[in-house]
A and B are shown apart, each in its own frame.
Chain A
């Protein structure tokens, strides 16, 4: 079954509002990666989290890895129209040899 669940599926926000997408795994992850796919484009690597409780920031983006290494979140502060796209998490469970991608959260930002 699905190893990594991601919610919400869609999010519509007004420019300037915040946005958060969540990933949950049924098993402990050795690491998790986040990707962004612009409409008509391909996934582009954003960041990787490895340590329990890790928090990383990239300008307005904040990435967190849960203490149990089973969940992760991506938070965007004060969204801009350039943030439009689908955000995917990809988890690598221990004892598995592949990444499981979440279903993605499609973000739409109204100017």
Chain B
């Protein structure tokens, strides 16, 4: 069974631009969660999607948004990029909602650098 895939793996953007990251979960998994990982803040929860609906949201500004498609693939968008948005963005898939005692399978991440 293929693992979680994320594209692109690396991205360099300038301040003010926007970016879209993609995540394909493990086949059969219906939940996708997004996390931001930085050296200073660790792993911070962004949001979780299940059945094309956002089920949960972390404490990030509205510039961070996402969506999920009927095939469970998910995209995350960051608008008006700031230097502080430079981070590793990880998505994790699980069978059902992550809180339902399901383990999360992480993708390799997208390394975003904002200059």
Contact = CB atoms under 8 A, between A and B. Distances in A.
B42 interface: yes
Contact of A99 (B42, B55, B99, B108): B99
A59 interface: no
Size category of the binding interface on chain B: 20 to 34
Main SS at interface, chain B: strand
Contact of A101 (B43, B48, B107): B43
Contacts of A96: 99
Contact of B42 (A30, A50, A98, A104): A104
B41 to A, nearest CB: 8
Given A98-B98, A98-B99, A42 B104 contact: no
B25 interface: no
Nearest to A102: B42
A45 B90 CA distance: 14
A19 interface: no
A21 interface: no
A20 to B, nearest CB: 19
Nearest 10 A-B pairs (CB), nearest first?
A101-B43, A45-B103, A42-B106, A103-B42, A97-B56, A43-B106, A98-B56, A97-B99, A98-B45, A42-B108
Interface of A: 30-31, 33, 35, 41-45, 48, 50, 88, 90, 92, 96-104
Interface of B: 35, 42-45, 48, 55-56, 58, 90, 92, 97-99, 101, 103-109
